[in-house]
C-alpha cells in the first residue's frame, strides 16, 4: 500500500482525516468521525442550498483543470432532462501516481458521501464511481462501503427519508492514459471507443447517454462532503484565496516517495521536504517534473513556486495527475523530455491531426536531437509545431503533450542547444 507522508501537525486534513481508521469500511466508526454529516446538512438545505454552499467555498476541481465545481453543478441542474448522472472519476490515469487510489482505499465513505451530495444538488438518481480495474483493494472497499451505506439509507431507494433515489455503482475500467479526460471516460462507460468530444456542449449539458452529467475527480467530491459538514468559511480558510482547500500530491525524491495532503499554495520546496527530497541544508534537485507525463520540467530555482492551478500554469507546468518528481543532479532533462513525449504520443487516441500526427512529429524531433542527428531547423520547428498543437488541439492531452519539450526549451536551453549541434563525423583515414 502506498506510503502516507507525515505532514506538519497544524496542516488541515479534509481528505485524509479518517485515513488512519483500522477498517475504512466500518460505517459506524466513519459516522462517529463525521461521515454523512455533510449529506444530512445538504438534505436540510435543499438542492439549491447545497449548491450555494459549494459555490461559496470556491471549490475547484482536483482533476487538474481547476474548473469551478459549482459552475458544473449549476449547469447540470439547469439543463432540462428526464434524468441526470454523476460520474466520480477515480481512474487515476497516470500510472505513477496513486493519489485517487489512496483516497478510495483510505476513506471510501468520503467519496460516496460526495457523490450523494452532488447527486442531490443536481437532481441525479444514478451515479458511477469509475476505478482502474487493477486497483482491486480500492474496488473491494468501495463495494463493501456502498453496501453498508445503502443498508443505512444514505444511498438507495430513499436517501435519508427524502423521497429521492440514488443508485451508485462501482465501475472497474481499464484502458489508456486518455481515460483521465472526462469525455473519453464517458465514452468508455458507454462501451464506445474512448475518444474525446468537441465542447461545447459540455458533459454537464450532454454527457452520459446524452443526459446532463457531472464528472468530478473523487477528491473534489470528498471535499464537497467536508464543505457541507464544516461550512464554506472553514474551507476558504485553507489554502490560497484563488484556490482554497487541500489536494493530494504523490511526491518522489531522493529521500523517498509517498502521498501527502497539502494545502493549495504550499511551495514545491515544502512539499518535497516531506520526503526529504530537499532537506533544509541539502542540495536542490536539478529539475522537477510537475504534473505527470504531460507535465512541465521546471528548474530548481522555481522550488518556491506555489503548488496551485494558476501559478503552475504560469510557470509552464500544471497540477495534472498530482505528482511531483525531483531528479538528481546528473539527470539528462532533454532525454527525460523525449521519454515523456514518446509516452504522450503513444497514448494519444489519434482522433485529430494534431493528436495523430503532431505528437508523433514532436517525438521524432526529440529522438533526432538526443541521437545527435538534429536538423538545422529543429529548434524553430519544435516551437512552431508546439504552438500549432496547442492552438488546434481537441483536448488537453494533445495540448499538454507539448509541455515536456517546451519547458526544457524555456528553462534548460543551454542543454538543448548543446544537443542541437550535429555530432561531427570522424575524419577519414588516409
Give per-residue pLDDT as tens, 357-377: 999 999 999 999 999 999 999
With cell 504550499, the residue in question is 266
What is the bridge-based pairing of β-strands 287-290 and 296-299?
antiparallel
Answer whether residue 280 shows pLDDT above 50.
no
With cell 431507494, the residue in question is 157
Q: What is the mean pLDDT of residues 110-135?
A: 97
pLDDT-derived band at 355, boundaries 50, 70, 90: confident
pLDDT value, residue 421? 84
The domains of the chain, with CATH numbers, are: 27-237 (3.40.50.11540), 243-326 (3.10.20.600), 333-419 (1.20.1440.230)
Give the dihedral of Cα atoms 246, 131, 105, 31; nearest 10 deg.
Answer: 80
Neighbours of 26 (CB within 10 A): 16
Model's pTM, two decimal places?
A: 0.94
Lowest mean pLDDT among 47-61, 66-80, 184-198: 184-198
CB 223 within 8 A of CB 235: yes
pLDDT value, residue 120? 98
Q: Which residue has the higher pLDDT, 95 or 315?
A: 315
pLDDT value, residue 428? 57
Who contacts 145 (Cβ-Cβ below 8 Å, separation ≥6)? 24, 25, 27, 108, 109, 112
pLDDT value, residue 362? 95
pLDDT value, residue 279? 43
pLDDT value, residue 248? 97
Give per-residue pLDDT as tens, 145-177: 999 999 999 999 999 999 999 999 999 998 788
Closest CA to 320 of 195, 224, 177, 194: 177
Answer whether residue 380 shows pLDDT above 60.
yes
In whole angstroms, what is the distance from residue 324 CA to residue 302 CA?
13
- Write down the mean pLDDT value for the chain: 93
pLDDT value, residue 422? 66
Answer whether residue 41 shows pLDDT above 80.
yes
Answer whether residue 281 shows pLDDT above 50.
no
pLDDT more than 90, % of the chain: 82
pLDDT value, residue 351? 87
pLDDT value, residue 2? 86
Q: What is the mean pLDDT of residues 226-232?
A: 98
pLDDT value, residue 278? 45
Lowest mean pLDDT among 16-30, 134-148, 268-282, 304-318: 268-282
pLDDT value, residue 78? 97
Lowest mean pLDDT among 109-118, 130-139, 189-198: 189-198
Answer whether residue 106 shows pLDDT above 80.
yes
pLDDT-derived band at 424, boundaries 50, 70, 90: low
Q: What is the mean pLDDT of residues 89-118?
A: 94
Q: What is the mean pLDDT of residues 247-270?
A: 94
Answer whether residue 423 shows pLDDT above 70.
no
What's the chain's Rg over C-alpha atoms? 22
Closest CA to 77 of 135, 130, 32, 119: 119
In whole angstroms, what is the distance from residue 47 CA to residue 77 CA?
9
Burial (0-12, 13-18, 19+ Cβ within 10 Å), 328: exposed
In whole angstroms, what is the distance from residue 367 CA to residue 80 CA?
51
Answer whether residue 354 shows pLDDT above 80.
yes
pLDDT more than 70, % of the chain: 97
Distance of CA 426 to the CA centre of its chain: 49
Q: Which residue has the higher pLDDT, 181 or 84?
A: 84
Amino acid at each position: 500500500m502506498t506510503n502516507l507522508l507525515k505532514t506538519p501537525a497544524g496542516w488541515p486534513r479534509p481528505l485524509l482525516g479518517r485515513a488512519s481508521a483500522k477498517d475504512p469500511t466500518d460505517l459506524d466508526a466513519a459516522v462517529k468521525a463525521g461521515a454523512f454529516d455533510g449529506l444530512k446538512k445538504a438534505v436540510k438545505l435543499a438542492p439549491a442550498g447545497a449548491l450555494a454552499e459549494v459555490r461559496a467555498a470556491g471549490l475547484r476541481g482536483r482533476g487538474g483543470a481547476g474548473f469551478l465545481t459549482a459552475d458544473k453543478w449549476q449547469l447540470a441542474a439547469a439543463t432540462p432532462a428526464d434524468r441526470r448522472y454523476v460520474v466520480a472519476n477515480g481512474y487515476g490515469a497516470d500510472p505513477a501516481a496513486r493519489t485517487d487510489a489512496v483516497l478510495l482505499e483510505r476513506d471510501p465513505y468520503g467519496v460516496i458521501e460526495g457523490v450523494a451530495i452532488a447527486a442531490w444538488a443536481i437532481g441525479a438518481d444514478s451515479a458511477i464511481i469509475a476505478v482502474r480495474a487493477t486497483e482491486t483493494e480500492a474496488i473491494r472497499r468501495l463495494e463493501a462501503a456502498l453496501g453498508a451505506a445503502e443498508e443505512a439509507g444514505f444511498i438507495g431507494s430513499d436517501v435519508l427519508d427524502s423521497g429521492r433515489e440514488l443508485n451508485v455503482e462501482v465501475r472497474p475500467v481499464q484502458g489508456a492514459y486518455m481515460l483521465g479526460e472526462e469525455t473519453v471516460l464517458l465514452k468508455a462507460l458507454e462501451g464506445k471507443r474512448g475518444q474525446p468530444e468537441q465542447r461545447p456542449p459540455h458533459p454537464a449539458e450532454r454527457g452520459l447517454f446524452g443526459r446532463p452529467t457531472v464528472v468530478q475527480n473523487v477528491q473534489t467530491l470528498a471535499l464537497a462532503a467536508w464543505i457541507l459538514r464544516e461550512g464554506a468559511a472553514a474551507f476558504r480558510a485553507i489554502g490560497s484565496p484563488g484556490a482554497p482547500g487541500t489536494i493530494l500530491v504523490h511526491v518522489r525524491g531522493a529521500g523517498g516517495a509517498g502521498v501527502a495532503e497539502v494545502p493549495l499554495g504550499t511551495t514545491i520546496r515544502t512539499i518535497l521536504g516531506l520526503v526529504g527530497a530537499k532537506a533544509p541544508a541539502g542540495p536542490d534537485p536539478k529539475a522537477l517534473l510537475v504534473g505527470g507525463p504531460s507535465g512541465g520540467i521546471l528548474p530548481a530555482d522555481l522550488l518556491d513556486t506555489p503548488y496551485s492551478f494558476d501559478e503552475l500554469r504560469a510557470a509552464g507546468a500544471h497540477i495534472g495527475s498530482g505528482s511531483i518528481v525531483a531528479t538528481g543532479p546528473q539527470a539528462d532533462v532533454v532525454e527525460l523530455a523525449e521519454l515523456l513525449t514518446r509516452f504522450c504520443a503513444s497514448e494519444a487516441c489519434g482522433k485529430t491531426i494534431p493528436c495523430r500526427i503532431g505528437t508523433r512529429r514532436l517525438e521524432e524531433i526529440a529522438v533526432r536531437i538526443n541521437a545527435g542527428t538534429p536538423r538545422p531547423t529543429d529548434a524553430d520547428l519544435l516551437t512552431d509545431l508546439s504552438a500549432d498543437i496547442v492552438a488546434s488541439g481537441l483536448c488537453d492531452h494533445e495540448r499538454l503533450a507539448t509541455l515536456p519539450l517546451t519547458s526544457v526549451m524555456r528553462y534548460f536551453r543551454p542543454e538543448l542547444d548543446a544537443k542541437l549541434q550535429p555530432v561531427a563525423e570522424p575524419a577519414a583515414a588516409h
